[in-house]
A and B are shown apart, each in its own frame.
Chain A
Amino acid sequence: MAVGLDYKSRSRIGEILLREGLIDEAKLSLALELQREWGGRLGRILISYGLVRRLDLYKALSKQLNLPFLDLRDERIDLEALKLLSLNFMKENEVIPIRIEDGKLLVAMTDPLQENTEKEIERITGLPVKKAITTELDIIWVLGTYFKEELKQQTIELLAREKAEFSAKKILANWQIVAFYTFSTVFLYLLFFKPILAFYVANSIVQTFFFLSVMFKLVLSLLGAKTRKREEEAGAHQIRDSELPDYTILIPVYKEARVIPHLIESIRRIDYPKSKLDVKILFEEDDIETLVAAKELKPEGFFEFIVVPHSFPKTKPKACNWGLQFARGKYITIYDAEDRPEPDQLKKAISTFRNSPLNTVCVQARLNYYNKYENFLTRMFTLEYSYWFDYILPGLELLGVPIPLGGTSNHFVTERLKEIGGWDPFNVTEDADLGVRAARLGYTVRTLDSTTYEEATSRLKNWINQRTRWIKGYMQTYAVHMRNPFRLIREIGLKSFIGFQLFIGGTPFVFLVNPVLWILYIVWLLTQTRVLEPIFPPWVLYFSLLNLLIGNSMIVFMNMIAVWRRKLYRLTPWALLSPFYWILHSIAAWNAQIQLVSNPFYWEKTPHGISRIFTARKQTT
């Protein structure tokens, strides 16, 4: 992005805008003052603050540089000329070859002062360049229109093609399918001929894994509870605005017209030089309603609306990959439409990156909810998220075990994110998968002590759907990364491998197994039946009791302590109701298990904007 001129000629673009009547003295002074504070280009500041329209600025710029301005949507673009440059070159340098005129290649570009780009084009094409100015939105539009299929391929197939071993396009490897059928056959054989032995073995394995999973979470919680505020985060405000780099924010939205005003407001509240923000709201092609709602709000110039072409799988990671292709920031993050990040989050993320090892690819902020007291579900969800993001993830970080990223507020170094292949569009928890993949490729993920507040799903059906997707995604992630267990050990080490088993594998496993254990226990308690005795020899019985009582109560206790740090004292008693909440988890886990076989890539979109907070706001409006 290169709107405006460098410092020396800044006043000139200002003068032109003044002369044209597009800006007044007061606005120009404000922009100049901001430029002194933030650094960067005047034009960008003017656009980002909405002081001048993007189109007007570029037209002024064209007059200043005495170059033609091209509105690419009205321009005749020669397909042969387009083929002269590679798609990646055009994306990275924001240039479009339009046509050959008088033996010269007419090239529309956002920054005509980049001499290197001009020379590089001449070298590649062997033609002298005739420069013209256009906006970055026009560039994106041309690329999205003329290279739709290539971009779609890159968006969807890049990971599957270049790093097939990490893609969930094919979930199970052949040997995994063979192993699954072999184990199932052996188990069924035993069940038929030696049922007691079959139950005994299965029961013992289940109990041991359940126990280890719970103990691992206890260790993580203890470690997580030990984490303190980092100095580097506290020092975020010492970074001068002029030193801050461009930051891309991707916001995939779908059928969320109701939330759009909230979204725009939340992003505006971010404490970051607006001229350095590259906010891309990603709309699905068939979601006209949301796009119209967003356009009606006429947000400032740092918001860009990008339409993601329709294709399958229709998932959030696919939309994010589309946005990633046009990202201009050195860093990039994702927010959901209903998110409300703490204003200093981006600065804290940069400070953390600067103080982290060079192989740090991502810092994950904490997530929590603003509609916590709405009903039972939102209360329990808040307990769960407080535990997950405030204790479990910092615990994983301290232990050096791969961190499954949360759905939003994960901040990446853009280049490194591209290196590791972006998001997997076939994985329905692309975030969790990305954390593990990053670890496998030798990168580190850190946590960030800054919170993004979201809307907790307050309706049961939506909750079940959302949780089904999450658990299915964990199952997908587990299957994908376990295609070659030995390689996984080599790549992440034994400790992380065990952590992966207990955490990524253990989470859905515990949800699947928990109701079976409770049912067996309740049947025994009510009937005192002796039928179960053969499958519960003494040590298994003690172990089961330990798991059921100590294990479950331990998790209740960990949920209690979870909200202490956030001072959400009113939620503590609700932790006692966790067992009822787990029933819902188990329903979702079994649903996920079925869906993994029947509809593995189906993305259960969680509707937002249904919280009472939004309803109340709408009424006020």
Chain B
Amino acid sequence: MEYQGYLQQESKQRKTVHILVFFSTFFFYFYMGMLAHEKGFWGAEEVYLGEKALLAVRGEPARFENIGLTYPPFPFMLRFLPAYLGLHPYAGAFLSSVSGALTILVLLSSLRKTGISTLIITPVIVNPLFIYTFSSGGSAGLFLLLLSLFTFYFKRFIESKGEDTFAFFISSLILGFSFLIRYEAVFFLMPLIFTLIQDKNRWRVVSKLLIFTFPSLFLSTGWTYINWLYKGDPFHFIHTFGLISFETTLREHKSLFYSFALAIILFPSYLVSLYHVARQPNLLILFLSPLAVALTSTLLLDNMVSTSYFCLLGSVSLIFESNLGSNASRYLLAIALIAGALIGYTLSDRTTWGEERDFIKTLIGTHKDERFKEEKELANYLKSLQGKIFFDDTYDYAVVFFHGDPKSFVLPYQMEFGFYLKAPFFIARYVVVPHPKYRNMINENNPFIFPEQDPNWELVEKIGKWKIFAARYHKD
């Protein structure tokens, strides 16, 4: 009884610690996100997701398919409620911070109960790449959370030699669900199949493969089905997704290795853990899978050359902390993590993706240029106009996001846009066109508007790269 009482008390204490860690981490990341916004930083993905969510819930008509069906749907869906409530500017940072706080909890839970847990977890929380991932409002935070959770449970499953059904159940579900966050999850799934097929029992292999891949396959199939349903092309999401060409890969591969080298410098802890895990072949593939995700996605996907992916290396090095042989190794891990965090700040301007660089520099006060400054100016100006605005948001989604009311626009997600593309004045009072050097459907179909040679349109304002025209003969 005494022992049970002790266990209960310890469990209560752990709960209290976890609640404290969750809220302090959440507020830390959320504050960082808000601070970055205040200093003029907005993540491109955050803005993109927010704008599509606005179209889905406040568009005309409000429909699920307004999210574009190119990128996985879940990050959009999470923003539906904030967008509906008009809180979309805060949604990104809020959701990222929740993901961040939960990830830190997962990492904390996977650490052995030793005196150096705080020493190990703190440098991770304050690592600039973690701050970027969990404060900048993109979907990377959620993806990192799911993959960390997956690694945590799948490791448990492997270590239990298949006995931990819950771990298997939940890890398969999480991996399947991560397909709804980012397609790169496939790079995580594929190497792990090799782990599963190493079994002498043929039926056991079949069973494992089915259970492991069913949620992923089903959710991917569901996604192709939805693409077929709304777009008439089941692989619409692939056809519109930015896959990098082989030529570009060759050109960029130098930066890939540069990124990789940088990631190892930022997360030397990965090497510390690798040294120990390398001696446990059953776990090695799982340990190396994040590397596969980072490398393959950097190789194949043009918009993902981001070292934030390498945060996963930091995550797994903590999840495998319990496999470190001795306390000395744990101290080494802590030192490596502290070093990584310090290096992160000093090397912030070397990262290959500009947005990360801008974010970190914004926070430490060395970045001067406000992101989306012109888009905000244009949005503010458009708010003062009465009547519909014909606008192509394919690349200029930030304008609609900062404007906040998609009903003021005629946009490509609406049937009317295509119908009146060659004569927008029939439906809109204003049209906004960027300089022809930027890709824009309105320019392509009305080449005389921007040079002010179209008699139907009268220039009313110039902001940045855009010109705003009013229709001469439009009647509301």
Residues of A within 8 A of B (CB): 221-222, 225-226, 538, 542, 545, 549-550, 553, 556-557, 560-561, 563-565, 567, 569-570, 572-573, 575-576
Contacts and interface: CB of A to CB of B under 8 A. Distances in A.
B201 interface: yes
B315 to A, nearest CB: 23
B63 interface: yes
A572 B206 contact: yes
Contacts of B64: 538, 542
B215 interface: yes
B201 A569 contact: yes
Q: Is the interface of B mostly helix, strand, loop or mixed?
A: helix
A573 B210 contact: yes
A492 to B, nearest CB: 25
B204 A538 contact: no
B166 A226 contact: yes
30 contacts: A221-B169, A222-B170, A225-B165, A538-B64, A549-B225, A550-B222, A553-B214, A553-B215, A553-B218, A556-B214, A557-B173, A557-B214, A557-B215, A560-B210, A560-B211, A560-B214, A561-B165, A561-B168, A561-B211, A564-B165, A564-B211, A569-B201, A569-B203, A569-B204, A570-B203, A572-B203, A572-B206, A572-B210, A573-B206, A575-B210
Interface in B417-448: none
**9 closest pairs, A vs B, by CB?**
A225-B166, A572-B207, A569-B207, A569-B203, A553-B218, A565-B165, A226-B166, A569-B204, A225-B169
Interface residues of B, number: 24
A88 to B, nearest CB: 40
Interface of B: 61-64, 165-166, 168-170, 172-173, 201, 203-204, 206-207, 210-211, 214-215, 218, 222, 225-226
Contacts of B201: 569
Contacts of A573: 206-207, 210
Highest count of chain A CB atoms <10 Å: which of B166, B173, B203, B218: B166
Given A225-B169, A561-B165, 5 more contacts: A222-B166, A222-B170, A557-B211, A560-B207, A573-B207
B155 to A, nearest CB: 17
A221 B170 CA distance: 10
Given A553-B218, A573-B206, A564 B225 contact: no
A511 B376 CA distance: 53
Nearest to A225: B166
Contact of A564 (B61, B63, B168, B215): B168
Contact of B211 (A549, A570, A572): A572
Contacts of A570: 203, 207
Contact of B169 (A222, A542, A567): A222
A549 B214 contact: no
Nearest to A552: B218
Nearest to A576: B210
Contacts of A545: 226
Nearest to A560: B211
Nearest to A390: B165
A538 B66 CA distance: 12
B203 A561 contact: no
A225 B225 CA distance: 31
A221 B211 CA distance: 15
A19 to B, nearest CB: 54
A222 B61 CA distance: 38
B203 A538 contact: no
A553 B206 CA distance: 18
Contacts of A221: 169
A71 to B, nearest CB: 55
A567 B172 CA distance: 18
Contacts of A542: 64
A6 B257 CA distance: 88
A178 B101 CA distance: 52
Nearest to B203: A569
Contacts of B207: 560, 563-564, 569-570, 572-573
A538 B63 contact: yes
Nearest to A571: B207
A239 to B, nearest CB: 20
A557 B166 CA distance: 13
Contacts of B211: 557, 560-561, 564, 572
A561 B168 CA distance: 8
A98 B71 CA distance: 88
B418 to A, nearest CB: 20
Contacts of B172: 557, 561
